[in-house]
Structure 1
Amino acid sequence: MTNNRDKQTSEARFHKLFDDTQAMSIQGYRVDGSVVYWNAASERIYGYSTSEALGRSLYDLIIPHEMRDEVKRAVAWMFDNEEGIPPARLNLKHKDGTTVPVYSSHTVVSLPNDEPIMFCMDADMRSLEMAEAEVQRLSYYDSLTDLPNRRLMLERITSVTRNTTVESSFAALLIVDIDNFHSINESLGYEIGDQVLLNCAECLQRFSSSQDALARLGKDEFAVFLPCTAPSLDIAATEAEQLGEQIIRALKTPMLLDGRSHQVDACIGITLFRCPEATPADELLRQADIALKMAKRSNTIDISFFDQQMESSVKKHLEISQALNHAVENNELALALQPQVNAQGETVSFEALLRWQHPELGAVSPNDFIPIAEATESIISIGDWVLEKSCQMLAHWNEEKAFEHLGISVNVSSLQFRRGDFVERVKNILNSSGATPSKLRFELTESLLAEDIDDVVEQMESLRKLGVSFSLDDFGTGYASLAYLTRLPLNELKVDRAFVNDLGRHSKGALLAETIISLGRSMNLTVIAEGVETEQQFKRLQNMGCQHFQGYLFGKPSTNVKDYLPGKSL
């Protein structure tokens, strides 16, 4: 009697749990597909009341016509084998005919003296898809001016110059820099500075040929794209110079801000090129930037064109490329470690950042040599060196009780990752160093996901079996989507510093950061924000639910780890 009462109580508890849950649609079906259970969340997600659904067929209610045969086979298999199939993302049908994206899990419950029942548990993905769309939109536009950002401008240039139907036409790319803008921020405050930038953006829009031919590149720089319409290089140069002069005159028009009149000056760098264009868009941007630097250094000109005399940077590129081939064997590389802290400010791990000190070139910036290393494939040997040194550090720290909790995050190039022997390389380095795999984390960029996602997942799974974990770097600035996130065996999402720098109240950067943090936590991923430089940013991110933090507020990259662990020696 007691057992029956306990059983009834247990069943009542589970029924109440299933009935009351708002986050998960739970349905029960007989072998013929007829509905025997339909909770309140199912009513909300699919539009049918419980009374409407009970006794009806699964296939008539929520399965689109084109999916019915496949679903019937899957249901038959589950009942035959009395087990569920792997969970999947599905597009099912609402009562009103609209599509309902869900993440669906299935199981078959078979009890003695009772018919088997298939239970489906569906999580509504619509709100996440809306959040994803907002993340993607914000990652293409500047948060202050709502202009296209650098990424969208580069894509626009690539598309237009490659797909132009006018052969042997010429185009121009202009970079506009607001002179001494930092002094406006320092003397008048950031609110006035933001107003100046908004006024400049509004002014420049009058000279833009289309909505995405103008972009804010960052801080006080804007890019203007003059499309492929000029029949000759001379005409393109004339049109670009005239446009530049008009822009400078327009920007000099006094603006009234906070009851005071303000005037700004500008310098412009211009590069010209033929369409269709084989030169990468980021190289064209680099050329225009070189021309801009020449204009800023001059006391007599406001507009400068890129020309061959500025190609000293090409020579430097070659010099760096050749020197990189011997950087490892000549012991010129070093690792600087930047602390990653928890909400209490305690160091829990470090990011390993590569540094290169060349005897003749001096300290070479990673922004200069990493792209070259990837282009020349010297990143393979350099990447092995970074991994070996990082694992040696982990093994050394593990020998002392005070340091054994520390982990290291290592950036991995897509070129390294896509080599067929990368997993084996990692395994060998872990074994030879004696490092604990669980203390090693690989930071992957979203560009890695732009190619064969199945191969990426396969290698990540192999590495995860070794104990290595994964972080997705700069989420929201590249290719990743929720479809990828549901497949990748990730442990961590990293919020890009660009969003951390824009955490003002009601700013788009703050909205994007909060969305990413919410997405990460909803998928049981740790979220770390990089580029944290102020206590205000630290507190704001904590309030958003961020768990880990990295930035100058906690320490600059250093080769001396004990700087971040007072009183302890490594």
Structure 2
Amino acid sequence: FIDLDNFKQINDARGHAVGDDLLRQVAQRLSSVLRQDDTVARLGGDEFVVQVGNLDPDVEVAARQARLVAEKVRTVLEGRYEVSGFPYSSTGSIGLTLFPRGDATTVDDLLREADTAMYRAKSGGRNRIEFFEATMQSEVEERLAMEQDLQLALAGEQFDVHVQPQVDAQGRIIGGELLMRWQHPQRGNVPPNVFIPLAEESTLILQLGQMVLQRACEALARLQQAGRQWTLSVNVSPRQ
């Protein structure tokens, strides 16, 4: 499963006609490096699928053969393009899976596995090759469950905001930094390094940020009523 890296940029900058020209050139390059037993197809958008045929019956040998083909594909996609008169550089992220297997995997399963491996390649820095592993699927399922829990947590007010004091040179408290904590009813305390990146990749970070800002304003009002002129620091997502 092959996905072009940053393809949206050329569509946004030069228009869809230029993007289509790049896709045609990518298809030509893919066809030029594949063997007679291989098949290439474009699924849609900037996604291509290659079926590598006639591999060795031994799984380890077949995996090495498939990786060699994938490396040829990755290398050929790296070269400079001349797209509708504009120079352009492009790369591809590639995910691999092997079949047939004893668990009688369906076509949809195979595409999902290769797609999952491709996203691992993208998240690892792009222009990479990754083989599907069973742990990837469990990670995807866990991620989906966590995102659903995060939505419920926002609706159910499972988040607490704590204040980390800030002091001056004399040790006097002059303010604080607001830190968010998620107390899940089943998972227990979910650390920020788990749920913040998940929220950052979706629109949920905007709701989280708004909630913290609201609570910061309420806390400042209470502090002023108590005669304390503190400042409160809040971390804000770049998306916000």
Normalising by the smaller structure, the TM-score range is: 0.5 to 0.7
1: distance between equivalents of 2:67 and 2:141? 28
Give the drift of 1:296: 0.3
Is 2:69 the counterpart of 1:280?
no
2: distance between equivalents of 1:300 and 1:214? 21
Instruction: Check whether the contact 1:228–1:275 (CA below 8 A) recurs between aligned residues.
Output: no
Distance 1:306 1:212, change over 3 A: closer
2: distance between equivalents of 1:199 and 1:302? 20
Q: Which amino acid aligns with 1:199?
A: Q
Distance 1:301 1:178, change over 3 A: closer
Instruction: Check whether the contact 1:269–1:291 (CA below 8 A) recurs between aligned residues.
Output: yes
Distance 1:203 1:234, change over 3 A: same
The equivalent position to 2:10 in structure 1, one of 184, 195, 212, is 184
Deviations 1:439-495 (A, max 9, x none): xxxxxxxxxxxxxxxxxxxxxxxxxxxxxxxxxxxxxxxxxxxxxxxxxxxxxxxxx
The equivalent position to 1:226 in structure 2, one of 52, 63, 66, is 52
The equivalent position to 1:257 in structure 2, one of 71, 83, 101, is 83
Q: Which residue of 2 aligns with 1:242?
A: 68
Instruction: Check whether the contact 1:248–1:267 (CA below 8 A) recurs between aligned residues.
Output: yes
Q: Which residue of 2 aligns with 1:360?
A: 149
Q: Which residue of 1 aligns with 2:137?
A: 311
Instruction: Check whether the contact 1:270–1:292 (CA below 8 A) recurs between aligned residues.
Output: yes
Give the drift of 1:311: 2.5
Q: Which residue of 2 aligns with 1:270?
A: 96
The equivalent position to 1:217 in structure 2, one of 29, 43, 67, is 43
Instruction: Check whether the contact 1:271–1:288 (CA below 8 A) recurs between aligned residues.
Output: yes
Give the drift of 1:207: 3.5
After superposition, residues 100-499 of structure 1 pair within 5 angstroms as 175-209=1-35, 213-274=39-100, 278-299=104-125, 302-312=128-138, 316=142, 360=149, 362=151
Q: Which amino acid aligns with 1:267?
A: S
Give the drift of 1:231: 2.0
Identity of aligned residues (%): 34
1: distance between equivalents of 2:130 and 2:63? 11
2: distance between equivalents of 1:269 and 1:184? 23
2: distance between equivalents of 1:310 and 1:239? 22
Q: Which amino acid aligns with 1:178?
A: L
Paired residue secondary structure (1:231)? coil
Deviations 1:388-436 (A, max 9, x none): xxxxxxxxxxxxxxxxxxxxxxxxxxxxxxxxxxxxxxxxxxxxxxxxx
1: distance between equivalents of 2:149 and 2:107? 31
Give the drift of 1:234: 1.1
Q: Which amino acid aligns with 1:265?
A: T
Give the drift of 1:203: 1.0
Q: Which amino acid aligns with 1:214?
A: V
Q: Which amino acid aligns with 2:95?
A: G
Give the drift of 1:316: 5.0
Distance 1:276 1:214, change over 3 A: farther
1: distance between equivalents of 2:148 and 2:3? 34
Deviations 1:332-391 (A, max 9, x none): xxxxxxxxxxxxxxxxxxxxxxxxxx973748xxxxxxxxxxxxxxxxxxxxxxxxxxxx
Structure 2 unaligned regions, length at least 5:
153-240
Distance 1:199 1:314, change over 3 A: closer
Q: Which amino acid aligns with 1:197?
A: L
2: distance between equivalents of 1:210 and 1:276? 27
Return the TM-score normalized by structure 1: 0.25
After superposition, residues 497-536 of structure 1 pair within 5 angstroms as none
1: distance between equivalents of 2:19 and 2:103? 37
Instruction: Check whether the contact 1:256–1:262 (CA below 8 A) recurs between aligned residues.
Output: yes
2: distance between equivalents of 1:249 and 1:359? 38
Q: Which residue of 2 aligns with 1:403?
A: none
Give the drift of 1:314: 7.4
2: distance between equivalents of 1:315 and 1:178? 25
Paired residue secondary structure (1:272)? coil
Distance 1:201 1:300, change over 3 A: closer
Give the drift of 1:218: 1.2
Structure 1 unaligned regions, length at least 5:
1-174, 320-357, 364-570
Distance 1:211 1:227, change over 3 A: closer
Distance 1:275 1:188, change over 3 A: same
Deviations 1:47-101 (A, max 9, x none): xxxxxxxxxxxxxxxxxxxxxxxxxxxxxxxxxxxxxxxxxxxxxxxxxxxxxxx
